[in-house]
C-alpha cells in the first residue's frame, strides 16, 4: 500500500477542480490597518490592502483590546494551563461569560475555543439530549452547524433558505415531537438576513426550540452590539444565541448564551468542550474589553455601515455586479471558479489588493464570487482605489459588467476625513 499516493491523488483532485487553496502569508500591522505586509513564496515582501478581513470592526487592532491582552498576559501568563475542569477556569474567562450573558440578555453564557466548536458542541448536545428530536435546519447553515446537527444523531430536515412557508410546513408535519429550529441571523457569503421575529413566532406556535448563529452580526448590529436580534428587538424570543469572539470582537473563540439549564447541559455533556484546554486568560480579557467597548460603539458601527454602503454604491455605480443584500457584506459575482481565482490573483499581484476567491463548496457552483468586507478604517480613498482596480481586472479578464441594475443608493454626507480609533473613543464618551 502506497499511502502517500492516496493523499497526493486527493490533492490532485482538488487542483483539477480549481479548489486547491493557497494561503496568503500576511503580517497585519495594527498601526496601519487595512495595510499589511505580504510574504511571497520567494521570501520577498510587499505592502497590500486587506479587503477580506472578518475582523469587521478592526477590534483586533484597537489599542485598548491589545492592552487588555498584554495586561492579562503580564499577570496570568500566556495560557490557561488546563481544561475548564482541570485548573483552566480563569477569572477573566468567568468575567467574559458574564459579559456575554449580559450582552444577549440571557441567564448564562459558555465560551469555547472557536465558533466552529460552539456549534458542534451545542447543537450536538442539545439535539442529542432531546429524545426523538427533529432539527429543522436552514439550507444555507454554516458547516459547523451541520456538523453539530449530524453529531447529535437527531433527525435533520432542511428548509429552503429563509423560507417561512416551507419551515411552517415542516413544523406542521412534525407534530408533537421535540423540534429545534437552527438558523443564522446573517448569512456571511450572501449577506442576507433572516426574518428572526417571524421564525420565533413560528417556533412559539408549533412549540419548537430555536438556535441561532449570530457570528457575523455580534458587535456589528443592535444598540449594544448584541446582533440582528437585538436590533430587531427579538433577542428574548430566541432560546440559544451562538456568537463568536473572532469577528466583530476581534480576538478568538466562540460562545453560546441562553437559559442556565441549557447552557449548563452543554457545559456538562459536550466532549468537545470538556476535553479541550480553556481559552487563555489574555484572550478572554481582550475579548471582554472588545465586548465592553462595543456596548458603547454606536458611532463606530455607523462608520462601519457607512463604509460598507459607500463600497457597494461605488462598485455598483461602476457597473460591477454587486450581489444585493441588506448587510455589511459586499459580494461581487464572478460565476466561475477559475476566473474567480484569476481575478483574486490579479487584484493581489497587479493592484496590491487582497480579496480571496470564494468558490465551491463554500458557495454553490456558478455563484463563485469575491467577498469584500469594508471596515471603519477603510477610507473613501481606499474605496476609490478598490473600484479602479476591480474595473481594471474586470476589463482585463473580460468579466461581465452589470451596468443596468442595482446601483446601491448612498447618501453622501460631508466627508469626516480619515476615521481612527480616536473617533471611536470620542464617540463612546
Residue 422 binds a copy of itself, judged by CB under 8 A: no
Distance of CA 105 to the CA centre of its chain: 21
> To the nearest whole angstrom, how small is the minimum distance from the Cβ of residue 193 to a copy of itself?
21
Residue 158 binds a copy of itself, judged by CB under 8 A: no
Q: Is 287 left (phi over 0), alpha (psi -120 to 50) or beta?
A: alpha
Question: Is 398 one of the catalytic residues?
Answer: no
Residue 251 binds a copy of itself, judged by CB under 8 A: yes
345 versus 405: smaller Cβ distance to a copy of itself: 345
Contacts (Cβ under 8 Å, ≥6 apart) of 343: 334, 357, 370, 393, 394, 397, 399
- Encode 40-61: b = buried (16+ Cβ within 10 Å), e = exposed: eeeeeeeebbbbbbbbbbbbbb
For the segment 347-366, give every residue that binds a copy of itself (CB under 8 A): 354, 356
Residue 421 binds a copy of itself, judged by CB under 8 A: no
In this structure, the chain runs to a length of: 429
290 versus 308: smaller Cβ distance to a copy of itself: 290
Considering 106, 179, 247, 295, which one is annotated as catalytic? 247
CA distance 21 to 321: 24
Residue 293 binds a copy of itself, judged by CB under 8 A: no
CA distance 359 to 331: 12
129 versus 164: smaller Cβ distance to a copy of itself: 129
Residue 205 binds a copy of itself, judged by CB under 8 A: no
Member of 42, 172, 195, 261 binding a copy of itself (CB under 8 A) = 261
231 versus 331: smaller Cβ distance to a copy of itself: 331
CA distance 237 to 399: 45
Residue 70 binds a copy of itself, judged by CB under 8 A: yes
Residue 327 binds a copy of itself, judged by CB under 8 A: no
> To the nearest whole angstrom, how small is the minimum distance from the Cβ of residue 420 to a copy of itself?
15
User: DSSP 3-state assignment of 154?
Assistant: coil
> To the nearest whole angstrom, how small is the minimum distance from the Cβ of residue 272 to a copy of itself?
6
Residue 157 binds a copy of itself, judged by CB under 8 A: no
CA distance 418 to 415: 9
CA distance 404 to 414: 28
Residues classed as catalytic? 247
Amino acid at each position: 500500500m502506497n499511502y502517500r499516493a492516496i493523499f497526493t491523488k486527493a490533492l490532485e483532485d482538488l487542483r483539477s477542480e480549481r479548489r486547491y487553496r493557497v494561503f496568503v502569508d500576511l503580517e497585519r500591522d495594527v498601526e496601519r490597518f487595512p495595510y499589511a505586509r505580504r510574504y511571497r513564496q520567494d521570501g520577498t515582501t510587499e505592502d497590500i490592502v486587506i479587503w477580506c478581513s472578518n475582523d469587521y470592526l478592526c477590534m483586533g487592532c484597537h489599542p485598548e483590546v491589545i492592552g487588555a491582552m498584554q495586561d492579562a498576559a503580564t499577570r496570568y501568563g500566556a495560557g490557561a494551563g488546563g481544561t475548564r475542569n482541570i485548573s483552566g477556569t480563569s477569572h477573566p474567562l468567568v468575567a467574559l461569560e458574564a459579559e456575554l450573558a449580559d450582552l444577549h440578555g440571557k441567564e448564562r453564557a459558555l465560551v469555547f475555543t472557536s465558533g466552529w466548536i460552539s456549534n458542534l458542541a451545542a447543537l450536538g448536545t442539545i439535539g442529542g439530549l432531546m429524545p426523538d428530536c427533529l432539527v429543522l435546519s436552514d439550507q444555507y447553515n454554516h458547516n459547523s452547524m451541520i456538523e453539530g446537527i449530524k453529531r447529535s444523531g437527531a433527525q435533520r430536515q432542511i428548509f429552503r433558505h429563509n423560507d417561512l412557508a416551507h419551515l411552517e410546513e415542516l413544523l406542521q408535519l412534525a407534530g408533537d415531537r421535540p423540534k429545534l429550529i437552527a438558523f443564522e441571523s446573517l448569512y456571511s457569503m450572501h449577506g442576507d438576513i433572516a426574518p428572526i421575529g417571524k421564525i420565533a413566532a413560528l417556533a412559539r406556535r408549533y412549540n419548537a426550540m430555536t438556535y441561532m448563529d449570530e457570528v457575523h452580526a455580534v458587535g456589528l448590529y443592535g444598540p449594544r452590539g448584541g446582533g440582528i436580534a437585538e436590533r430587531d428587538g427579538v433577542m428574548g424570543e430566541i432560546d440559544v444565541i451562538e456568537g463568536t469572539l473572532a469577528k466583530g470582537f476581534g480576538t478568538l473563540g466562540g460562545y453560546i448564551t441562553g437559559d442556565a439549564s441549557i447552557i449548563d447541559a452543554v457545559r456538562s455533556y459536550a466532549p468537545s468542550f470538556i476535553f479541550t484546554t480553556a481559552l487563555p486568560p489574555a484572550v478572554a480579557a481582550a475579548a471582554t474589553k472588545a465586548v465592553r467597548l462595543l456596548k458603547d460603539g454606536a458611532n463606530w458601527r455607523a462608520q462601519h455601515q457607512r463604509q460598507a454602503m459607500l463600497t457597494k454604491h461605488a462598485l455598483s455605480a461602476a457597473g460591477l455586479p454587486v450581489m444585493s443584500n441588506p448587510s455589511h457584506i459586499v459580494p461581487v459575482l464572478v460565476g466561475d471558479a477559475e476566473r474567480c481565482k484569476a481575478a483574486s490573483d490579479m487584484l493581489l499581484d497587479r493592484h496590491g489588493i487582497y480579496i480571496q476567491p470564494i468558490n465551491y463548496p463554500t458557495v454553490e457552483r456558478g455563484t463563485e464570487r469575491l467577498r469584500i468586507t469594508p471596515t471603519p478604517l477603510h477610507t473613501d480613498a481606499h474605496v476609490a482605489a478598490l473600484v479602479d482596480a476591480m474595473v481594471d481586472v474586470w476589463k482585463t479578464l473580460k468579466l461581465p459588467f452589470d451596468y443596468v441594475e442595482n446601483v446601491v443608493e448612498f447618501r453622501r454626507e460631508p466627508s469626516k476625513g480619515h476615521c481612527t480609533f480616536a473617533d471611536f473613543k470620542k464617540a463612546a464618551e
